Structure 1
Amino acid sequence: MSHADRVQGLFELTRPGNAIAAGVLSFIGAFVAEGTAVFSNSGAIGAAIVTTILATGAGMAINDYFDRDIDRINDPERPIPRGAVAPRTVLIFSLILFAIAGALALLLSRLATAIAVVNLVALIMYTELFKGLPGVGNLLVSYLGGSTFLFGAAAVSQVNTPVFVLFLLAALSTFARELIKDIEDIEGDREGGMKTLPITIGYRPSLLIALVVLLIAVLASPIPYLIGIFGIAYLVLVTPAILVTIYAGYLSVDDPSVGQSILKYAMYISAVAFIGGRISLLL
């Protein structure tokens, strides 16, 4: 493989779309907490966004490092299985990103730094220690997904009720999506000796749990408007997200791969709804 292929492989390992989306969620957490005042603290929120992007990218890369044997079955076109980049290079690359993210986190408030340290350790240890424990890995990823809101808010020293509600909603959706993804990956995970929830309790029970969690998330989605956290714009914007979530759950019954992929877009629409809902309260 050429140098260009190696660089492309490393970039691909970070899943840049997911990493940037995580950075946006950190900004949303800060914006929901502080409103337009967040722009007067641009240094802190900028550091938080970059930290989140780097940490997420590092977590994605190190996950591929540990999952390289499983990916030869589940996803042979990933950079390591297809030979674009050597496993050792991926490990070093991910640790460098983690180190930079950790250094940036030290510039933030104590609470933000604490959240960053917990998350960085969790990302490093996820695949080796937690992913193979039935349900535990899903819960950890759910926390990590929702904690981007907490981290962004903590970066501007303000974690309040609205941000915590967003954390819970994001965690519910992430749990369901991760469980559906485990269902999709059941063959490779079994070959790799993993003990994920679908392997432990079966395909159908796991899918039922995922759909119940999705239903809870759907029913809870209007709560931020009902308790006055967000304005009417939130309710208008979150409705498409609810519909996409329901559709993704329906598709997951027959095709978990398509279902979990579509569910990701519902989460992005929800993020737009969070911003719109907060702005509508400021007008």
Structure 2
Amino acid sequence: MNLVEAWVRVVRPPIILISVVGASAGALNVTIGQGEDLPQATYMMTCLFAALLAAGLMVHNDYYDLPSDRVTRPHKPLPTGIIRPETAKWVGFGLMAAAVLVAFFGRWWDFGEVDVPTALMVAFVFLVGLYYNARGKYTGIWGHVMVAIGVGLIPYVGAMPFGDYVSMAPLALGIGVMEVGREIMVCAGDIEGDRAAGFCTLPVKVGQRKSLLVALAFYIASVPFFYLYLPRIAAHIPGLSGEVFGPVYYVGTTVFLVTLFVLWVLVWRTPVWDSFEAYIRTGSRLAIFLYQLLLLSEAFI
């Protein structure tokens, strides 16, 4: 592995793609999806800050995950020494700071104004990410919540530059609560490496099997939020339209949620490292990406 390949691996292109597609789903569904024009420059800046933020969080996280990765993933760029840990730390910080700056000027080219609300939200995710990377894995379940905040806010922040602060809120809540459970399961797979590194994730604190039950509880708790868009329910939520999403959303969401529960069952039956890698790190991540593509398509249906 050469230096270029190492940097490509450490920024996690699939995570960047998921972040950009998720932000695009928010942006397009509150503009084109509602019969409005899409401000092109603002949209491009939205995709850019989503990519920078995701890449920065991943690179910065690898610096703090180094003790665990030396045990479970010694082939990664930092454990092998191809990328210096301090370099990764500050490059990650710089990418996240750049995301805040891009968000601040995101509306400038189309509207001639700065975007303080979006910049503040991106800065919030930046700060939560910094704290999680440095201390989050020592805080039990709160560390998993911190990760979920950033993931859940992706479509919400994607809609913010276009002046919509309500439409993506139920979706953000659903994804956020679900992601707490998924992140617990990711750490359940990493339990041996996290123990060796001295981390205090929920699986380390309560054990792998109990943590999987907690993850299931979060999966179940997330379900109602995805269906708040149903017209009869949305009518009772101030500012929320029952026409944000159509039938494709409800069918796709149901399939997505069922898939997550099936993947949980597969891991529960065989809770070994290979299962977590196949069904949670890869399988659930693929399910999320496909779900985001479905959300993206909703804007054009």
In structure 2, what is the equivalent of residue 131 of structure 1? 137
Residue 106 (structure 1) aligns with: 104
Match of residue 217 from structure 2: 212
Question: Alpha carbons of 1:59 and 1:38: their partners in 2 closer, same or farther (altered >3 Å)?
Answer: farther
Picking from 145, 168, 191, the partner of 1:163 is 168
After superposition, the C-alpha distances for 1:70-122 in whole angstroms (9 at most, x for unaligned) are 10002111111122211122123223322322221221321101101111122
Partner residue in 1 for 2:81: 83
1:31, 1:38 within 8 Å by CA — same for their partners in 2? no
8 Å CA contact 1:242–1:266 kept in 2: the answer is no
How far apart in 1 are the matches of 2:13 and 2:96?
15
For residue 59 of structure 2, what is the amino acid of its counterpart? A
CA separation of 1:155/1:192 partners in 2, compared to 1, >3 Å: closer, same or farther? same
> Is 65-74 or 237-246 further displaced after alignment?
237-246
Checking the alignment, whether the CA contact within 8 Å between 1:214 and 1:249 is kept in structure 2 is: no
Deviation at 1:139, TM superposition (A): 0.5
Amino acid at match of 2:277: S
Q: 1:147 aligns with which of 150, 153, 156?
A: 153
- Alignment partners' CA distance in 1, 2:50 and 2:255: 27
- Residue 79 of structure 2: SS of its match in structure 1? coil
In structure 2, the partner of 1:11 is 8
Q: Confirm or deny that 1:241 pairs with 2:256.
A: yes
Distance apart, 1:170 and its partner CA: 1.1
Instruction: Give runs of aligned pairs for residues 1-283 of structure 1, distance below 5 A.
Output: 5-36=2-33, 39-108=37-106, 109-160=115-166, 162-218=167-223, 220-225=225-230, 227=233, 228=242, 229-253=244-268, 254=270, 255-260=275-280, 261-280=282-301
Q: Which one-letter code corresponds to 2:258 in the other structure?
A: L
Q: Is the 8 A contact 1:33 1:159 kept in 2?
A: no
Contact 2:202–2:211 (Cα < 8 Å) also in 1: yes
Alpha-carbon distance in structure 2 between the residues aligned to 1:220 and 1:117? 25
TM-score normalized with structure 2 length: 0.85
Gap regions ≥5 residues in structure 1: none
* Count of residues in correspondence between the two structures: 276
Post-superposition offset of 1:194: 0.9
Q: CA deviation at 1:134?
A: 0.7
Shifted more, 136-145 versus 269-278: the winner is 269-278
Query: 1:152 and 1:219 mapped to 2: Cα distance?
Result: 22
RMSD: 2.0
How far off its partner does 1:240 sit?
Answer: 2.9
SS across alignment from 1:194: coil
Shift of 1:184: 0.6
Greater shift in the superposed pair: 262-271 or 140-149: 262-271
- What is the distance in 1 between the residues matched to 2:99 and 2:19? 14
CA distance in 1: counterparts of 2:299 and 2:3, whole angstroms = 42
Deviation per CA, 1:26-46: give whole Å up to 9, x if none. 111122223356653121121
Per-residue deviation, 1:201: 1.6
Identity of aligned residues (%): 23
Which stretch of the first structure deviates more once superposed, 262-271 or 212-221? 212-221
Of stretches 17-26 and 226-235 in structure 1, the one that deviates more from structure 2 is: 226-235
Conserved 8 A contact 1:240-1:269: no
Gaps of 5+ in 2: 107-114, 234-241
The CA deviation at 1:278 is 4.4
